[in-house]
Amino acid sequence: MTQPRKLHIKSFGCQMNVYDAQRMVDALAPEGFVETANPDEADLVILNTCHIREKASEKVYSELGRLRVAKDEAALQGRRMAIAVAGCVAQAEGAEIIRRQPAVDVVVGPQSYHHLPQLLAEAARGGRALETEFPVEDKFGFLPPPQPDAIRARGISAFVTVQEGCDKFCTFCVVPYTRGAEVSRPVDKIVEDVRRLADNGVREITLIGQNVNAYHGDGPDGRPWPLGDLLRHLATIPGIARLRYSTSHPRDVDQSLIDAHRDLPALMPFVHLPVQSGSDAILAAMNRKHTADDYRRLADRFRSANPAIAFSSDFIVGFPGETAEDFAATLALVTQIGYAGAYSFKYSPRPGTPAAELQETVSAAVMDERLVRLQELIDSQQSAFNEAAIGTTVEVLFERAARNPGQIVGRTAYLQPAHVMAGPEIIGRILPVRIDSLERYSLIGELAAPQPHAAFVTRPDSSPQSLPITTGA
CB 164 within 8 A of CB 179: yes
Q: Does 166 belong to an annotated binding site?
A: yes
For residue 87, how many other CB atoms are within 10 A of its CB?
31
Write the CA distances from 322 to 285, 316, 352, 373, integer angstroms.
10, 10, 21, 15
Beta bridge partners of 83: 45
Q: Does 14 belong to an annotated binding site?
A: yes
Q: Does 170 belong to an annotated binding site?
A: yes
CA–CA separation, 48 vs 108, rounded Å?
9
Q: Where are the beta strands (DSSP E) in 64-174?
A: 82-87, 106-108, 129-131, 157-161, 163-164
Report the candidate in 468, 444, 447 with the shortest Cα–Cα distance to residue 458.
468
CA–CA separation, 302 vs 253, rounded Å?
10
Q: What is the CA radius of gyration of the chain?
A: 23
Q: Does 50 belong to an annotated binding site?
A: yes
CB 53 within 8 A of CB 349: no
Q: Does 173 belong to an annotated binding site?
A: yes
Report the candidate in 398, 248, 252, 391 with the shortest Cα–Cα distance to residue 309.
248
CB 42 within 8 A of CB 7: yes
Dump the DSSP string for 377-416.
HHHHHHHHHHHTTTT-EEEEEEEEE-SSTTEEEEE-TT--
CA–CA separation, 369 vs 317, rounded Å?
10
CB 276 within 8 A of CB 283: yes
Q: Binding site: residue ranges? A: 14, 50, 88, 166, 170, 173
Q: Binding site for [4Fe-4S] cluster: residue ranges? A: 14, 50, 88, 166, 170, 173
